[in-house]
Structure 1
C-alpha cells in the first residue's frame, strides 16, 4: 500500500547525488518507523508513466515517540528516469507515493563487532545501520571499509566523518579510491576479491566479526563475499544487498527452460485470491499485475526483493536472484518478477 509523502528537504551531496527527506504525517509515524538498513519503495508519474524505484534510508532509526526521519540517498543513473527527475526537477513540497519501509538487509542493535564493505551508493543503508548501532549500543563496534571512484564522488562524507569524531574508539573507517590517489589510507585501486582477502585480516580480527554487511555494485559485493568465504567466515554471518547489476556481469540464477503453454497462476494478495492464465514469456508478477495493480514490486530486476512471494504449489524457474538468501529460497520463497511456471498450475502467496 502506498501513502502520500511530501518532500521536506533536498540536499545536493555530490555532483550526481542528492539526499531527499520526506515529511511523515503524525498518523503515519508508526507505519514509516524503519529498522536500520531498510529501504523505501517510491512511485511517481513522469510524463504519464508510473515509475517505481527502491531507495535505502540513510537516517538513523528513531524510537517511539520520536518522529521517524525518512532520508534517502539518490544517485544519478545513466538512463534512470526517477534519478534524473530527482536531481533535476523534484522540489520541496512535491508529493511522492511511498510504501512502508521494507527489506531484510538489517541490523537490530546489539553488542558485538560488526563490519561493512560498501561501494558507491552502497553506503546509504550502512550509514543508518552504523549510526543507529553506535548510538544505542555502547558495547558495539563497527568497521566501515568503503570504496568510491574519487573523493568528490563520495556520498555522505560529512555524516561518516561525524561518526568517526563521535565514536573514535568504536568506529573504524577505511577508505579506498579507485580513480584517485589519497594522502592517507589505502593506495588507489578497486577492492576486488584478491585485495580484500589480504586486506581484511590486517584491519580487524575477521573470525570475531558478528556480522558482515556488503552493499554496492554486483562485482564488489560478490568479490567481498568470496574473500570472506575464503577467510573462513560462515555464510550466515554475511549479509548482502546489491545496488547495481551491470548487463552481462551476472549469469541467470537458473538455466532457461520452456514454460508450459497453458499454465495458470493462483495468487493470494492482501487476503484476496485469484487465478489467471500465464501469457507466453511473461513473469508471474506481470500475470498478477494484469488484474491486480496492487501487486508489490519496484525494480523488476531481481535486486530489491519487493515482489518476494511464497511458492505454495507447483514449480517455477527464476531468471536471476540477487535479493533472496539461500535460506529463503530453501524455505520456498521466490521473486515473482523473475519467476516463470514450469508446471501447468502454480500458486503464490504474497502475504507470507
Structure 2
C-alpha cells in the first residue's frame, strides 16, 4: 500500500474522464503519471482524499477507489465514485464543475477496509499469516457503499481463480443505483463465482427479493439461505450507519467471528453517536506531543479542540481527511497519556486495543498526551 513506509501525501492528478452514473452520482477517472504510479499503488478497498481551497478555506473529502487493482504493475489511472449530498461543498463541485483536463489535488491511497488477493509480499515483511483468498467472501452494501466493494470483488475474482464472492446490495431504486453496468459486467464475466442479490427499498422488482429495507431480522433470515455461513472467509459491510449496524448484529447472531467482519461507514449522522456516554473530564492545561515524519513537537491543547486540531495549528501537514471519525486518515498511536474519543467508525477493535486512536476525535484526559503518526 502506498502509505506503508511513508505517510500519505497530495499530488496533482489530471481528470481523464467524468462519467455520469445516476442523476446524483458521477465517476471520476484520474490519470497517474509514470513517476507517481508507485505512490498510488493501492489495495482494493482503499480511498483517496481530494482537496480544494475555497475562499481561503481548505476542503477535503474522501472517496473510495472503485477500480480493479492491477495484479503486478502500479496503476496508470484511478477511478472514484462521487455521490451528490445536500449542500456538499466538494460533491457539488464534482457534479457541476469538474471537467476532463482539470487537475485535482489527490492524496495517496489510505484506509484499511481492504482485501489483498496477493498478500504474500506483505507477509514476508510483516511475519503475519496471509489472508485467505480462496473460498467464499461476501459483502452487504447500501448506496454508495458499493464503491470500495466493487474494487474488492473485481480484483479478487480476477486474481484469485478459486475465490467466490456474494454481493448483497441495497438501493432506493434502479435509477439511483451506482455502477449498475460494472456490477452486471462482473456477473457476465464470472457467472459461477459471483452471486448478486439486489434489494430495492422504494421500488418493486419483477423478480428477486421483495422490496423494503434490509434490517437485522431480514438479514438474519436471508444470509444463511444465500451462503454456507461457516465457509465465508470475510464479510465486508459498507454503507449508511444503520445498515452496517444491522448487518453486524445479524452476523453476530449467526455466530460469525468478529475478526471475519470488516466495516466502513458512509453517511454518519447524530444517530450514530453514543448519546448516553459520559465524557471524561478535560484537564485545564494539556499538552500534546506528536511525532510526524520523523520530527517531534509539543504544543498546548486549547479548550474544546481535538488533538488533531492542536497539532494542525503547528503542523499543517498532519494527516486528515474527513474529521468525522470515518475515514481513519488521522490514525495515530497513543504513546502515553489518556484520551477520550467522541466517535470511531474507522478503527477495528484490534487497532484500538493495540493503542491506536483517531486524532480528529481524541481529546486529552491527562495533562500530557503523546501521539506517534509515523507508526
Deviation at 1:64, TM superposition (A): 3.6
Indicate which of 94, 106, 109 corresponds to 1:101.
109
Shift, 1:48, TM fit: 3.2
Q: Mind listing any 5+ residue stretches in structure 2 that lack a counterpart?
A: 1-8, 118-132
Q: Work out the number of aligned pairs and report it.
A: 352
Question: Which TM-score applies when normalising by structure 2?
Answer: 0.92
Query: TM-score of the superposition, structure 1-length normalised?
Result: 0.98
Mapped partners of 1:346, 1:65: distance in 2:
41
**2:81 matched to 1:73?**
yes
1:249-260 mapped onto 2 (5 Å cutoff): 249-251=272-274, 254-260=277-283
- Say whether the 8 Å CA contact 2:41–2:74 is kept in structure 1: no
Aligned equivalents of 1:275, 1:252: Cα separation in 2: 32
Pick one of 18, 25, 29 that aligns with 2:26: 18
Q: Compare 265-274 and 252-261 and name the one that shifted more.
A: 252-261
Of the three residues 283, 292, 296, the one matched with 1:273 is: 296
Work out whether residues 259 and 341 of structure 1, in 8 Å CA contact, stay in contact via their aligned partners in 2.
yes
- Specify which of 14, 17, 34 is matched with residue 6 of structure 1: 14
- 1:39-118 equivalences under 5 Å are 39-65=47-73, 67-109=75-117, 110-118=133-141
Q: Which residue of 2 aligns with 1:182?
A: 205
Which residue of 127, 131, 135 corresponds with 2:150?
Answer: 127
Q: Structure 1 regions of 5+ residues with no counterpart?
A: none
Q: Quick one: distance in 2 between partners of 1:16 and 1:100?
A: 26
Q: Against the structure 1 CA distance between its residues 252 and 274, is the aligned structure 2 distance closer, same or farther, given a 3 Å change threshold? A: farther
1:331 maps to what in 2? 354
CA distance in 1, matches of 2:275, 2:85: 23
CA distance in 2, matches of 1:240, 1:61: 20
- Does 2:282 match 1:264? no
Q: Give the drift of 1:68.
A: 3.6
Report matched runs for 1:88-237 at 5 Å. 88-109=96-117, 110-237=133-260
Q: Conserved in 1, the CA contact under 8 Å of 2:138 and 2:165? A: yes
State the shift of 1:62 in Å.
1.2
Query: What is the Cα deviation at residue 247 of structure 1?
Result: 2.3
| Superimposed CA distance per residue, residues 35-74 of structure 1 (whole angstroms, 9 cap, x where no aligned partner) | 1111001111234321101110001001343644310000
Give the CA RMSD over aligned residues: 1.1
For 1:261, what is the secondary structure of its paired residue?
Answer: coil
Distance in 1, matches of 2:224 and 2:279, equals 40
1:291-340, Cα deviation, whole Å (9 max, x unpaired): 11100011101010000000000000000111111100000000000000
Q: State the SS of the aligned residue for 1:346.
A: strand
Deviation at 1:105, TM superposition (A): 0.5
1:248 is displaced (CA, Å) by 2.7
1:36 aligns with 44
> How far 1:257 moved relative to its partner?
2.0
State how far apart, in whole Å, the 1-side matches of 2:270 and 2:23 are.
Answer: 25
Over residues 204-261 of structure 1, what are the superposed CA-to-partner deviations in whole Å (9 max), with x where a residue is unaligned? Answer: 1112100000000000001000000000000000000001112234316953122101
SS in 2 for 1:207: helix
Q: What corresponds to 1:340 in structure 2?
A: 363
Question: Quick one: distance in 2 between partners of 1:201 and 1:112?
Answer: 16
